[in-house]
Structure 1
Amino acid sequence: MAAAVLIGADLVHAGAGAVGRVPTAVREPGPGGGASSAGADAEPDRLPPVLRPQPEQPVDTPEPAPPPDTGSGGPDGPDGPPAPPVTYPQTGPGTFAFLTGAGPVLGWAGELRRFRVAVEDGISLRPDEFAAVVDATLGDDRSWVAGRQFRLQRVPRTAAAEFTIYLATPGTSEQMCALGGLVTEKYTSCRLPGQVIINMDRWMRAVPDYGAPLAVYRAYAINHEVGHQFGMGHELCPAPGRPAPVMQQQTYGLQGCQANGWPYVDGKRYTGPPMP
Structure 2
Amino acid sequence: MGKRVLARRRPIVRAVLIGVCLTAVFVGGGAALAGWPESDPTAEAAEDPAEDASEEAESGAGEPTTAPGGSNVAPAPTASPEAVRRIPVPDDGPGTFTTARSAGSPVGSGDTVRRYRVQVEKGIELSEREAAVEIETILAHPRGWTSDGRNSFQLVASGPSDFDVKIATPGTVDRICGAAGLLTRGEVNCTVGRTVVVNLKRWVLGSEQFDGPVTEYRALIINHEVGHRLGRGHVTCGGEGEPAPAMMQQIKGLHGCVANAWPYEENGTYITGPAVP
Computing the radius of gyration from Cα coordinates, the structure with the larger value is 1
Which residue of structure 2 lines up, in the alignment, with residue 144 of structure 1?
145
**Matching residue of 1:184:** 184
For residue 59 of structure 1, report the CA deviation from its aligned partner: 6.2
Gaps of 5+ in 1: 1-33, 66-81
User: What's 2:233 paired with?
Assistant: 233
In the alignment, does 2:269 pair up with 1:268?
Answer: yes
Determine if contact 1:206/1:214 at 8 Å carries over to the other structure. Answer: yes
Shift of 1:177: 1.0
Q: In structure 2, what is the equivalent of residue 249 of structure 1?
A: 249
Asked if the contact 1:114/1:162 (under 8 Å) is kept, the reply is yes
Note the 1:99-118 alignment, pairs <5 A: 99-118=100-119
TM-score (norm 2): 0.74
**Alpha-carbon distance, 1:104 to partner:** 2.5
CA distance in structure 2 between the aligned counterparts of 1:223 and 1:57, rounded to whole angstroms: 24
- Is 1:163 aligned with 2:163? yes
SS, match of residue 171 in structure 1: helix
What is the CA–CA distance in structure 1 between the aligned matches of 2:83 and 2:208, rounded to whole Å? 25
Q: Match for residue 206 of structure 1?
A: 206
Q: Which moved more, 1:84-93 or 1:240-249?
A: 84-93
Distance 1:188 1:57, change over 3 A: closer
Superposition TM-score, scaled by structure 1 size:
0.74
Aligned-partner SS, 1:222: helix
> How many Å separate the matches in 2 of 1:210 and 1:246?
12
Change (3 A) 1:59 1:177: closer
**What amino acid does structure 2 have at the position aligned with 1:265?**
E
For residue 220 of structure 2, what is the aligned residue in structure 1? 220
8 A Cα contact 1:63 1:99, kept in partner:
no
Distance 1:103 1:186 in 2: 32
Query: Could you list the runs of 4 or more consecutive aligned residues of structure 1 that deviate by over 2 angstroms after TM superposition?
Result: 51-54, 56-61, 82-85
Asked if the contact 1:99/1:117 (under 8 Å) is kept, the reply is yes
Identity of aligned residues (%): 38
> Which residue of structure 2 lines up, in the alignment, with residue 22 of structure 1?
none
Q: Deviations over 1:44-65 (max 9, x none)?
A: 39xx99x7947x7976342289
Number of corresponding residues: 222
Cα distance in 2 for partners of 1:239, 1:57 equals 43
Question: For residue 129 of structure 1, what is the aligned residue in structure 2?
Answer: 130
Once the two structures are TM-superposed, the CA of residue 181 in structure 1 deviates from its matched residue by 1.1
